C-alpha cells in the first residue's frame, strides 16, 4: 500500500486515538489533533491526502473550519465526522468541498472503507487532471511555438491558467539567483497586494489566505486567496507564478495541479529567454567589435563613432531622455555607421569626389546597419535610430524619406551629432571647421535637415564641452 498521510481532528481524544490506531494498523501514516488552531498549523506544515475532522470544533463553526482547512491544505480530501448527520447537512458539506462524511458512532470497518473510497476518488481525479493537463499543455505548447517573445509566451500561459483555475489575477515573477529578489515579468492586472516575496522561498505550491495575515498598507481588508507556484529548473528557483482569488471559493487540488503543469511552461519561457539573451549578447559584442574595426579603417574617421556617441548623450540629457533611452542612444550612436562594414575600401576611403553610383552604395549603409541590428530583438529602438540617422526633417533624406516627427527622436539626435563631428574633423575632401562654424551651419539647416528641438539643445551645451569633443 502507498504511504498515504492522514490527519485526524476531533476535540474528543478518544475518537482521535480510535481513528489513529485503526488507520495506522491499515498502513496509513496518521497525525492527530484535538485543537483547531494546531490542526490548521499541521495542515500548513504537511501535505495530507485525507483529513478527518469533526463538524464542530471549539471556537470555529464546522463550515468555517472546513474552509480554513481547504485554504491551508487544498490537496487534502476532507471527510466530516459528525453525530448530527442529516441529508441537508451532508449536501451542504459536499457543496463546501467535503468528499464524504462519517456518522458517529462508526465502526473501524466504516472508517477504513470510507477512507479507501475517498482515496479511490482522488486517484480518479488525478487521472482526469493529468488527461486535461496534457490536452491543455499541448494547446499551449502549440501557441508558444509560434512566437519567440517571452511576453507573448506569458500571455498565452496566463490566459490558460486563469481559465482553468478560475483565478481573478495572475502574475509571473523572476527571482534573481544571487539576491533572491523578485521582479515582475508579467501581470494580468497590476498587482496591488502581492505576497510573492514571502512565498518565493518555498519549494512547493503554497496557498495562503490574506485573512490569516496582519493587515498592512499592501494587504486589503477584503481577504484574498493566493496560490504561489515555484518555477524551478535543475533545482534552481527561476521565478514564481502567483494566482489570486478574491470572490470566495478556494484553489482545489485540480487547480494546483494544472497551475504546476503550466508553471513548467513558464519556466521553459525563462530558460529560452536566457538562452536568447546570451545569443544576442554574443552577436552584439561581435557587432561592437566590427564597429570598432570599421572606425579604425580610416585614420580620418578614427574615433568618430565614440565622439558621436558622447555628443549624442549630452544632447539626450539636454532633451530629458530617461536612463533607458540614453543607453539606447549611446549604443545606436556607437553603431550608427556599422552598415559601412560591407562597403569596399576603394569607395569608403576614396579621397576624391564619389560618382553617383558610388554615392548610392555609401547611402545604403543606413539600411545595411538596420538589417544587421534588427535580429537582436531587444535592440529595436537602436536599429530604428541607426536606420534613421540620415533622414532629413523636411523629408529629403534617406533611406525612407521620413519627415518631422516620423523620424525617431534618437535618429534625429544622432543626425545632429554625426554632422557636427564630421564638420569639425579633417576629411580628404575638405578642411576641418571650427566648432563655431559648425554650429552656424547646423543652425542654418534647422527645420530642413535637422530637427529644430535638437539644434536648440546643441546650442544650450557649454561651448567648452563642444571644443573638447
**Residue range 143-182, pLDDT digits in tens:** 555 555 667 777 877 887 787 777 888 888 888 777 778 7
Band of residue 199 on the pLDDT scale cut at 50, 70, 90: very low
**Residue range 378-399, pLDDT digits in tens:** 788 999 999 999 999 999 999 9
**Residue range 211-259, pLDDT digits in tens:** 443 333 443 444 567 788 887 776 677 788 888 887 555 777 667 777 7
Average pLDDT over residues 179-200: 64
Q: How far is CA 331 from CA 303, 313, 374, in A?
A: 14, 10, 14
Query: Domains in the chain, start-ordered, CATH in brackets?
Result: 5-125 (3.40.50.2300), 147-275 (3.30.450.40), 298-468 (1.10.3210.10)
C-alpha 231/C-alpha 183 separation (Å) is 13
What's the CA dihedral at 296, 298, 299, 304 to 10 degrees? -70
Strand partners, 236: 233
- Contact assessment for residue 67 and residue 207, using Cβ atoms and an 8 Å cutoff: no
What pLDDT, on the 0 to 100 scale, is given for residue 443?
Answer: 96
Cβ burial 423-439 (10 Å sphere, 16+ → b, else e): bbbeeeeeeebebeebb
How high is the mean pLDDT of the chain?
78
C-alpha 410/C-alpha 407 separation (Å) is 8
Strand partners, 102: 81
Q: Find out whether the peptide bond into 399 is cis, omega within 30 degrees of 0.
A: yes
Reading the block at residue 344, the C-alpha cell is 569596399
Q: State the pTM of this model.
A: 0.50
What pLDDT, on the 0 to 100 scale, is given for residue 202?
Answer: 46
Phi, psi dihedrals of residue 147, rounded to the nearest 5°: -140, 150
**Residue range 90-146, pLDDT digits in tens:** 666 666 667 787 888 889 998 999 899 888 877 766 655 555 555 555 555 555 555
* CB proximity list for 25: less than 8 A, separation 6 or greater: none
**Residue range 314-331, pLDDT digits in tens:** 999 999 999 989 999 999
- From the list 307, 302, 293, the residue with the least C-alpha distance to 427 is 302
pLDDT at 417 exceeding the cut of 80: yes
**Residue range 250-296, pLDDT digits in tens:** 777 667 777 777 777 777 767 776 777 777 677 677 777 777 776 66
C-alpha 338/C-alpha 373 separation (Å) is 9
Average pLDDT over residues 208-213: 44
Most trustworthy range by pLDDT among 12-16, 199-203, 259-263: 12-16
- Contact assessment for residue 70 and residue 39, using Cβ atoms and an 8 Å cutoff: no
Band of residue 410 on the pLDDT scale cut at 50, 70, 90: very high
Strand partners, 240: 173, 230
Band of residue 311 on the pLDDT scale cut at 50, 70, 90: very high
C-alpha 56/C-alpha 82 separation (Å) is 8
C-alpha 106/C-alpha 117 separation (Å) is 16
Average pLDDT over residues 54-78: 70
- From the list 253, 179, 258, the residue with the least C-alpha distance to 266 is 258
Which strand (E) or helix (H) includes residue 398? none
Band of residue 42 on the pLDDT scale cut at 50, 70, 90: confident
C-alpha 77/C-alpha 70 separation (Å) is 9
Amino acid at each position: 500500500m502507498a504511504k498515504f498521510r492522514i490527519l485526524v481532528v476531533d476535540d474528543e481524544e478518544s475518537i482521535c486515538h480510535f481513528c489513529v490506531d485503526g488507520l495506522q494498523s491499515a498502513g496509513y501514516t496518521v497525525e492527530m489533533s484535538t485543537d483547531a488552531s494546531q490542526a490548521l498549523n499541521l495542515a500548513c506544515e504537511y501535505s495530507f491526502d485525507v483529513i478527518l475532522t469533526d463538524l464542530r470544533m471549539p471556537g470555529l463553526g464546522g463550515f468555517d473550519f472546513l474552509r480554513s482547512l481547504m485554504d491551508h491544505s487544498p490537496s487534502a480530501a476532507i471527510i466530516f465526522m459528525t453525530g448530527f448527520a442529516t441529508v441537508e447537512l451532508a449536501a451542504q458539506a459536499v457543496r463546501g468541498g467535503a468528499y464524504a462524511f462519517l456518522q458517529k458512532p462508526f465502526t473501524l470497518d466504516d472508517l477504513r472503507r470510507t477512507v479507501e473510497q475517498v482515496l479511490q476518488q482522488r486517484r480518479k481525479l488525478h487521472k482526469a487532471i493529468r488527461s486535461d493537463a496534457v490536452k491543455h499543455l499541448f494547446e499551449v505548447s502549440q501557441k508558444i511555438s509560434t512566437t519567440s517573445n517571452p511576453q507573448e509566451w506569458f500571455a498565452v500561459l496566463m490566459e490558460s491558467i486563469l481559465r482553468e483555475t478560475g483565478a481573478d489575477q495572475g502574475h509571473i515573477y523572476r527571482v534573481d539567483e544571487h539576491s533572491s529578489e523578485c521582479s515582475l515579468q508579467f501581470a494580468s492586472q497590476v498587482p496591488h497586494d502581492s505576497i510573492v516575496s514571502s512565498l518565493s522561498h518555498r519549494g512547493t505550491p503554497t496557498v495562503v489566505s490574506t485573512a490569516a495575515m496582519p493587515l498592512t498598507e499592501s494587504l486589503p481588508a477584503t481577504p484574498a486567496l493566493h496560490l504561489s507556484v515555484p518555477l524551478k529548473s535543475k533545482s534552481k528557483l527561476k521565478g514564481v507564478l502567483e494566482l489570486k482569488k478574491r470572490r470566495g471559493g478556494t484553489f482545489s487540488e485540480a487547480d494546483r495541479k494544472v497551475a504546476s503543469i503550466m508553471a513548467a511552461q513558464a519556466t521553459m519561457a525563462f530558460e529560452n529567454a536566457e538562452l536568447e539573451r546570451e545569443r544576442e549578447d554574443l552577436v552584439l559584442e561581435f557587432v561592437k567589435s566590427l564597429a570598432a574595426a570599421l572606425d579604425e579603417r580610416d585614420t580620418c574617421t578614427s574615433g568618430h563613432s565614440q565622439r558621436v556617441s558622447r555628443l549624442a548623450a549630452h544632447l539626450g540629457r539636454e532633451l530629458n531622455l530617461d536612463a533607458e533611452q540614453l543607453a539606447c542612444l549611446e549604443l545606436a550612436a556607437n553603431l550608427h555607421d556599422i552598415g559601412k562594414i560591407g562597403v569596399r575600401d576603394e569607395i569608403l576611403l576614396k579621397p576624391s569626389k564619389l560618382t553617383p553610383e558610388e554615392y548610392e552604395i555609401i547611402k545604403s549603409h543606413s539600411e545595411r546597419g538596420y538589417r544587421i541590428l534588427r535580429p537582436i530583438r531587444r535592440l529595436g529602438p537602436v536599429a530604428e535610430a541607426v536606420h534613421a540617422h540620415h533622414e532629413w526633417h523636411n523629408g529629403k533624406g534617406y533611406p525612407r524619406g521620413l519627415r518631422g516627427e516620423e523620424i525617431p527622436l534618437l535618429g534625429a539626435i544622432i543626425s545632429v551629432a554625426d554632422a557636427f563631428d564630421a564638420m569639425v574633423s579633417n576629411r580628404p575632401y575638405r578642411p576641418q571647421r571650427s566648432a563655431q562654424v559648425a554650429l552656424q551651419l547646423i543652425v542654418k539647416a534647422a527645420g530642413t535637415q535637422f530637427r529644430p528641438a535638437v539644434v536648440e539643445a546643441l546650442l544650450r551645451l557649454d561651448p567648452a564641452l563642444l571644443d573638447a569633443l
